[in-house]
Amino acid sequence: MTAQIMDRFLFRGEEYRLVGGEGGPLISPQDFGMEPGFIHTACWRGFYSTYEIKDDQIFLVEMTMREKKGNYIAINNKMPEVTEHQACYENIYLPVPFTGRLLLAKDFIQELYVHMGFQEPTAFKTVLELTFKDGLLMDLQDRSKEMEQERETLKQKYESEDFYEEVDEAFS
């Protein structure tokens, strides 16, 4: 399986990837009555989005997707540009009433790339935790140091003799 395309967030002039969180939900094609379908091996869920945090509010800016039946519906009065395998909605700027927290990350550490699923927060040098209520930013915490410490703990575990014994047992 291929690493999956992560949702993108534009925040304070920087580009981040969504690497975790709780609460919500964010926006999906199902919210508009569409059923996403597999686009390619890097997008099993059938869609990926770009959000922007502007004036401390979340907006859905773009969504790329494949609707299983080709039944594309306007999102915030915008129709997508449809190609053979997918459709792209651009310049949507739809407010997102998300409540919860999101982990946004940038500065990916290439040596930590995992060729399956979504990348972990520890695979990025910069990790921010943003807390929202009804789509408005309420709190911002820098979690980069914590991720660095977790990377070091994982590194020590993988370099230990016990880890290799556990792997040997799993394959015996």
The 8 Å CB, 24+ separation contacts for 119-123 are 119/3, 119/6, 119/17, 119/19, 120/19, 121/19, 121/20, 121/147, 122/147, 122/150, 122/151, 122/154
Q: For the whole model, what pTM was predicted?
A: 0.84
> Is residue 95 within 8 Å of residue 57, measured between CB atoms?
yes
Question: What are 14-52's pLDDT values in tens digits?
Answer: 999 999 999 988 999 999 999 999 988 888 899 999 999
Question: What are 64-119's pLDDT values in tens digits?
Answer: 999 999 999 999 999 999 998 899 999 999 999 999 999 999 988 877 656 665 66
Q: Residue 57 has which token pair? A: 């509010």
User: How high is the pLDDT of residue 156?
Assistant: 67
Residue 128, sorted as left (phi over 0), alpha (psi -120 to 50) or beta, turns out to be: beta
Considering only residues 164 and 103, tell me which one the structure prediction assigns the higher pLDDT: 103
Average pLDDT over residues 126-154: 92
Cα 6 to chain centroid, rounded? 4
Q: What is the mean pLDDT of the chain?
A: 88
**Which residue type, as a one-letter code, is found at position 146?**
E
User: How high is the pLDDT of residue 134?
Assistant: 97
